[in-house]
């Protein structure tokens, strides 16, 4: 299950409106790398048949089957701060995260950690 906060949903709607395409979904995924072993990624993309699909009103969120076990239970938020705004992911599967918040590792897997560039 994925949770999308109201502020994150508003920002996703804003991005989607600028693309002027109704077939797009918010894709959330992980890739190996980053300071702690896995990195988060987000993009507007067309859903695939194998994706896990979540609906939040007009917004579709999709997660590929390889990323799904690492992202089960996440909460996606959009936060404004003095340094600017950005998406934030609260992941209950992460046992540690990089200070930048874009990289994490799980209890059973850490991926291949790289130097932190943030």
pLDDT digits over 31-89, tens only? 876 565 678 899 999 999 999 999 999 999 999 999 999 899 999 999 987 777 888 88
CATH fold, domain 3-106, is Hypothetical Protein Aq_1857; Chain: A; (2.60.300)
Res 111 pLDDT > 50: no
Domain ranges of the chain: 3-106
What is the chain's mean pLDDT, rounded? Answer: 81
109 — pLDDT class (breaks 50, 70, 90): low
pTM equals: 0.78
The rounded distance, in Å, linking the Cα atoms of 36 and 45 is: 26
Question: 42: how many CB neighbours lie within 10 A of its CB?
Answer: 16
pLDDT at 31: 84
Which of 106, 2, 117 is closest to 59 using CA atoms? Answer: 2
Is the Cβ–Cβ distance between 101 and 28 less than 8 Å? Answer: no
Q: What was the pLDDT predicted at 11? A: 94
């Amino acid at each position: 299950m994925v949770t999308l906060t109201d502020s994150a949903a508003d920002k996703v709607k804003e991005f989607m409106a600028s693309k002027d395409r109704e077939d797009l979904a918010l894709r959330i995924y992980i890739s190996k790398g980053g300071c702690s072993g896995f990195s988060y990624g987000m993009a507007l993309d067309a859903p695939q048949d194998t994706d896990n699909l979540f609906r939040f009103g007009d917004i579709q969120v999709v997660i590929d089957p390889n990323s799904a076990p690492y992202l089960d239970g996440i909460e996606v938020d959009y936060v404004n701060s003095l340094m600017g705004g950005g998406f934030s992911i609260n992941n209950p599967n992460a046992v540690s995260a990089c200070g930048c918040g874009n990289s994490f590792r799980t209890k059973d897997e850490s991926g291949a950690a790289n130097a932190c560039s943030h």
